[in-house]
Amino acid sequence: MNDDLRGQYENYPYPPRDPADEAKRLIAGSPSHICEIEHHIMGGVRNAAEPRRILVAGGGTGDATVMLAAQHAAAGIDAEIIHLDISEASSAIAKSRIDARGLTNTKFVHGAIEAIAERDLGTFDYIDCCGVLHHLEDPVAGLKALRTALKPAGGLGMMVYAPLGRTGVYHAQAMLQMIAGDLPDPDRISAARELLGELPDTNWLKRNPYVGDHLNQGDSGIYDLLLHRRDRAYSVPELAALVQQGGMRPVNFVDPARYEPSVYLTSAELLKRTSGLNWVQRCAFAELLAGNMKTHILYAVRDDNKTNSLATPDGADTIPVMRDDDGQSLGAQIKPGMSLKVDMAGVKISLPLPQLAGPILMLIDGEKSLADIHADLQSSQKPAPGQDNSRNSSTSFSARSTG
């Protein structure tokens, strides 16, 4: 099975990437965005003078590796990025992407994450493990291997498949195993294409608009989604159990709002009942309620790490940081009384914004502290009598402390 898995990614590297595209864009996302790492794992602290060692475990064609290398280089942080993968073909694509950007902070190592100790790579401040654990023969053993490679204060960002948002995928996998399980890979892909063309409108995969790799990622997308030799999904309680068995402790899901029942509910009685649930139960309730999560993105630390805590934007010296958007341009678009409209894969919500949301966002530049922003607002705004402008904007941002 391991040979089959390696062969899959040698012949059908996933996701398909063209190194020439690096001149046009940087693919950035979760987990492992530099702002998320600093917020969820490092307590909001950025110390550009302190070197970092980062492992991308199962780096594939390089999305996380390129993002981490590029973002740390841009931030002026001395970081060593290790890209580890079982597929030489996938790693070659990742290396070409790194070379296209002229980055020199990345090394490439061939091997499986379960055998990481044999590679003598040392320990890491952060490990990315995106889309890998759910393909391992023994995910617990894989997670334990990664734990041993973490520094005591280090952390890990992971992504695993979730069952409800992938409704239809496993039905299609079962059908293809029945009719093409023993065929050579090109014939299996041909059978998958034939089946996709014959799906009735009632089929769950055809009815699921949020799964699209079989439609827009070519042969490798079809293979990875529908023909994978080893693929399982985790509900929130199952993922929590995996993390615990692997010697880790969860810090937070991304995006956190999707795992909060009060985002979806308006009934006071239901809100009261769900408020009594513990954090994992509340996240599990939200997963069942939304019904559309196709992945879970989670940050975690070692179970013996008792010091890690989320950065919270409540200290005067805390610096709020926009993850991707530009605060000034976004704030200029917001007018008093507007609401923030969010589409979470089909779940549409509207969040009322405070009166000073626009001016606050325009002052978030990654340099000003909350005290600086408050002082600037006081000098430029005169709230009406009785008006409460103390709420922070609902727009997502991270925070880091000075240091």
Q: Are strands 150-161 and 295-302 parallel, antiparallel or unpaired?
A: antiparallel
Q: pLDDT tens digits for 39-71?
A: 999 988 888 889 999 999 999 999 999 999 999
The better pLDDT of the pair 125, 48 is held by 125
| Mean of all residue pLDDT scores within the chain | 91
Furthest C-alpha separation in the chain: 75
Q: pLDDT tens digits for 84-99?
A: 999 999 999 999 999 9
pLDDT of residue 398: 55
pLDDT above 50 for 389: no
Which residues, 6 or more positions from 55, have their beta carbon under 8 angstroms from its beta carbon? 82, 84, 121, 124, 126, 127, 128, 146, 149
> Which region among 137-146, 186-195, 199-208, 310-319 has the lowest average model confidence (pLDDT)?
310-319
Q: pLDDT tens digits for 215-228?
A: 999 999 999 999 99
Q: What is the dihedral of CA 101, 104, 156, 30, to 10 degrees?
A: -10
Distance of CA 235 to the CA centre of its chain: 16
The percentage of the chain sitting over the pLDDT mark of 90, rounded to a whole number, equals 79
User: What pTM was computed for the model?
Assistant: 0.91
The enclosing H or E element of 378 equals helix 370-380
pLDDT band at 313; cut points 50, 70, 90: low
Break the chain down into helix, strand, coil percent, rounded to 5. 45, 20, 35
Structural contact between residues 191 and 183, judged by C-beta atoms closer than 8 angstroms = yes
User: For domain 2-161+234-302, is the CATH number 3.30.70.420?
Assistant: no
pLDDT above 90 for 337: no
* Count of CB atoms situated within 10 Å of the CB of 131: 18
The better pLDDT of the pair 383, 98 is held by 98
Q: Where are the domains of the chain?
A: 2-161+234-302, 168-227, 318-401
What is the arithmetic mean of pLDDT over 1-26? 92
Q: pLDDT tens digits for 238-283?
A: 999 999 999 999 999 999 999 999 999 999 999 999 999 999 999 9
Strand-pairing partners, residue 79, are 52
pLDDT above 80 for 312: no
Distance CA 275, CA 281 (A): 10
pLDDT of residue 402: 36
